[in-house]
Structure 1
Amino acid sequence: MKETFLVKHAVGGRAFIDTGKNPIPYTWKQVEEQWIFTVQIEKAENIAELLKWKNELNVFIFQEIENEPTKKLWFYVGDDSVHYAEETGELTIVAKSQIVYIPEQFSAQL
């Protein structure tokens, strides 16, 4: 399975992190009713900009499995859910809800 991790400002906004274009180490796990994303990234201008918009972020996971349609997981990030530890270079994002969808199932039917 191929997986892409994406962090964007709002739904149609710019991407701050896109592992499909710029691979960086990340992990994610569900803990009870929330999802925790941990990203190893050096402090850079894009992290400062990401933190500026931390209350308006969406997180996406795209999962591609051979011979199956791409599955998209869309996570909603709440207030005070994004933190950066400069000493370890670790960005943590906590999402409290998600929507799972397969884009092919939403195509227009004529």
Structure 2
Amino acid sequence: MKQTFQVKHAVGGRMIIDSNKHDVSYTLVPQGQGWKFTVSVPWGPMIEELLAHKEELNVFVFQEFDDQPTLKTWYYIKDGTVEFDAAESKLTIIADSRIEYYPHEYSV
């Protein structure tokens, strides 16, 4: 299975982080009523932009399988935390809710 991690600016859909294009690793764990992403990424313009829009972010995880359709999970940040620890080069994102769906079911 291949996974893709993306962070987008919710207003306009501008891509900020795309694991297919940026060298980032991440973990995802349930936390309380939400989900916690911990992303290893160096400080730079990408993180500056992300933090400037931290209240307007959406996170996506695509799971691509060889024998079944791609599953897309859309995580809403809404009131969640978005923080960057420069000493550790770690971005933390807390998502409040999520929706799982199969994109092929919504194509025109």
| Alignment TM class, shorter chain as reference | over 0.9
Instruction: Give the superposition deviation at 1:12.
Output: 4.3
Instruction: Give the superposition deviation at 1:31.
Output: 2.2
Which residue pairs with 2:104 in the alignment? 104
Q: Unmatched 5+ residue regions in structure 2?
A: none
Which residue pairs with 1:43 in the alignment? 43
Q: Is the 8 A contact 1:11 1:58 kept in 2?
A: no
User: TM-score w.r.t. structure 2 length?
Assistant: 0.93
Structure 1 stretches of 4+ with a deviation exceeding 2 A read none
Which residue pairs with 2:73 in the alignment? 73
Which residue pairs with 2:25 in the alignment? 25
AA partner of residue 88 (structure 1): E
State how far apart, in whole Å, the 1-side matches of 2:65 and 2:78 are.
Answer: 30
Alpha-carbon displacement from aligned partner over 1:50-108 (angstroms, at most 9, x marks no partner): 10000000000000011211100000002351000111111000001000000112234
With over 3 angstroms needed to count, the CA separation of the structure-2 counterparts of 1:84 and 1:53, relative to structure 1, is: same
Q: Unmatched 5+ residue regions in structure 1?
A: none
Aligned residues: 108
Which structure: larger Rg? Answer: 1
State how far apart, in whole Å, the 1-side matches of 2:107 and 2:14 are.
Answer: 24
- Percent identity between matched residues is 46
Q: Is the 8 A contact 1:78 1:94 kept in 2?
A: no
